[in-house]
Structure 1
């Protein structure tokens, strides 16, 4: 697996659109609010509302992907992404615009379900873990790059930013060429991706899946303790990182009197740290210490840095701690997804990975709501301590002994 693999490049480009959905709206929110005459507080919902529909529909679309094939879901999802995204510019009031954001979240769910399912089908073992790490890296980098592009376009006219959603159409055409047009030369049987068992698994994975393959339905699979534990861990990690995105800028503004440039630098370096670790370190860590201890290491790093932040009052001390937080996040997330992929039977991999994505985005949607209650009734340091406790819980959960997967009784 390398970057000359056009299939991988298509999937990475598709995954970047998931991050782009809300990221390109953030820089133009004030102009949109003034132009369309709605409150700035309402405008914040435009960034996060698609998380809710994405969380609800991604697991359902994962089941659909396993039944009809991942590529047959990916292509219409990309086209719908472009149509629903661009249509937002035609809305002249808050409610219709919010409706387009909801539809965009559903299209996002299709991209996530199909994309992760394809990664799991096309790559196995270490190659799959590395591919998932690349996806996590792409999502992180997209959260840095797309807001910069949107901010630049927005200086011309905020309406033009919605044109970026149109990238879904050329990407759908590219995916069609790669997965259908070249399948004879690559030997890729597209229809078989949703049903055929992979013959390249290692002996360890084969012995594990010999048990898991007996699990025939999603209902049976989601009764398995190890699957449920990993899904819970994904939710807790996602809630932690989104809390940092929301409350670290508030802390820097109120306690350190930082300007928007300084806040942007800290958030970008956090994301950069996560991207570097996801791309270059995760696979080595898993190989040396195993998946559980890799997750524990990342979760403890996140927790310690979160608990430390209220004691930091200068940029030169906060910056390296933010980078370390990014390291921890970049270690945990791809390892959790890789673990889920290894536990899922071949015919339910899209279902399981899509459920993980749905759980993650639901946690991101709920995180500012729940922690907002803590903030209202306490203070910012308490928010950081609470989030640190959430992160360390991920490590504690992975200290529990693994229970082997067995078919759940009807």
Structure 2
């Protein structure tokens, strides 16, 4: 049964905190261990150009297993995939801490990546399953805040643990085990299986994915992750290093400040969507992205970055939860997990392409050119959102596309 409850009751709902635990686990795999990379390299005699394999071996399994797990979660139920995934993540992550060689560490990272593959999809799927209307927007915003707080805090926590030893950040993975136990015994969900024939099921998934509205939302998410991972996380940090000679700690503090603004903004999504629809918030974010990255090359005083950094945090807090909320509500429950798996793959594609393409711009044009390219991506985002995101997007809660 779906929940539609007051804000005060919402914050007392145990399901909500289980979802938060899944979200925090889903973003732990890279951000918590990145500060330990130099220590891992020295301890295991790994060259700098090889250390990035720790990310590659962790993320690649998701490309294969996420859609498979999404289909299985739809065909059976969410717990069948969620609970074993959390246990595998926690056990394999702990095994990473006990590895004796880099090759062994990479093998355990593959298993941890398989455990992680479904987590970023099933947390959103559960939100769609359990909450309706403005409650869903509110929970999506809360979840975006939790994600932003996690991505802000994990590097600091992982860096502090890495001072003790290279393996200690991996022990954070143990937190996935109590989350798995809580999900096993306390997560509320409907347990009936999806009874659709597999051919009909796949046909309906394909039909929903290739609708004009959904493709536009996917494209908006793709542009967002090019801007986020290419323009902001990669080349804005390089700008702070090359132009302003800031230390890694200072750069991390600046990025954490932006994540804090994102968390605050995301937490207000329920209130924002009560006044503006998600399409309006996405369009506003697209405009902000464009203005921010067009502005960055002209900033000569470090303190003046407070303006674009804060605006970027606001844009992120409005944009990503709004897109997620629309996509989550658009897909009928019968194939929601598979539907959101496709969105996860779009995000990963933007995450991979953004730094690579902007790296070519950096190499052949200039550092400033990377921000102009990000602004150009923002313009494409504006065109897409204003052209295709018009009127109310139909919700699967009101009318299922599955024929009875």
TM-score, normalised to structure 1, is 0.87
1:344-383 maps to which residues of 2 (within 5 A)?
A: 344-383=331-370
Let me know the Cα RMSD of the aligned residues: 2.4
- Answering whether residue 253 of structure 2 is matched by residue 265 of structure 1, we say yes
Partner of 1:126: 134
Separation in 1, partners of 2:379, 2:57: 28
Deviates more, 1:82-91 or 1:342-351: 82-91
Partner of 1:76: 84
Gaps of 5+ in 2: 1-6, 395-399
Partner of 1:151: 159
Partner of 1:384: 371
Count of aligned positions: 382
Change (3 A) 1:57 1:390: farther
Deviates more, 1:44-53 or 1:329-338: 44-53
Q: Secondary structure at the match of 2:386?
A: coil
Partner of 1:325: 312
- Answering whether residue 243 of structure 2 is matched by residue 235 of structure 1, we say no
- Are 2:96 and 2:167, in contact at CA under 8 Å, matched by a contact in 1? no
- Are 2:332 and 2:401, in contact at CA under 8 Å, matched by a contact in 1? no
- Are 1:291 and 1:335, in contact at CA under 8 Å, matched by a contact in 2? yes
Separation in 2, partners of 1:40, 1:214: 46
Deviations 1:86-114 (CA, angstroms, capped at 9, x unpaired): 22234344444333333322211222232
Deviates more, 1:116-125 or 1:169-178: 169-178
Deviates more, 1:8-17 or 1:152-161: 152-161
Partner of 2:325: 338
- Are 1:301 and 1:325, in contact at CA under 8 Å, matched by a contact in 2? yes
Change (3 A) 1:384 1:395: same
Deviations 1:129-155 (CA, angstroms, capped at 9, x unpaired): 111122221111101112222222221
Partner of 2:4: none
1:268-307 maps to which residues of 2 (within 5 A)?
A: 268-280=256-268, 282-307=269-294
Change (3 A) 1:71 1:134: same
Partner of 1:14: 22
Separation in 1, partners of 2:183, 2:76: 17
Separation in 2, partners of 1:371, 1:73: 36
Partner of 1:201: none
Partner of 2:105: 97
- Are 1:272 and 1:323, in contact at CA under 8 Å, matched by a contact in 2? no
Deviates more, 1:393-402 or 1:128-137: 393-402
Change (3 A) 1:399 1:189: closer
Separation in 1, partners of 2:355, 2:100: 27
Separation in 1, partners of 2:62, 2:201: 30
Change (3 A) 1:402 1:34: closer
Separation in 1, partners of 2:261, 2:55: 24
- Answering whether residue 46 of structure 2 is matched by residue 38 of structure 1, we say yes
State the shift of 1:215 in Å.
9.4
Gaps of 5+ in 1: 180-187, 197-212
Separation in 2, partners of 1:361, 1:38: 26
Change (3 A) 1:53 1:177: same
Partner of 1:4: 12
Change (3 A) 1:396 1:286: farther
State the shift of 1:49 in Å.
4.5
Change (3 A) 1:175 1:91: same
Deviates more, 1:64-73 or 1:386-395: 386-395
Q: Secondary structure at the match of 1:399?
A: helix
State the shift of 1:310 in Å.
1.3
Partner of 1:140: 148
State the shift of 1:379 in Å.
1.1
- Are 2:35 and 2:155, in contact at CA under 8 Å, matched by a contact in 1? yes
State the shift of 1:285 in Å.
3.0
Q: Secondary structure at the match of 1:112?
A: helix
- Are 1:215 and 1:345, in contact at CA under 8 Å, matched by a contact in 2? no
Q: Secondary structure at the match of 1:270?
A: helix
Separation in 2, partners of 1:51, 1:374: 25
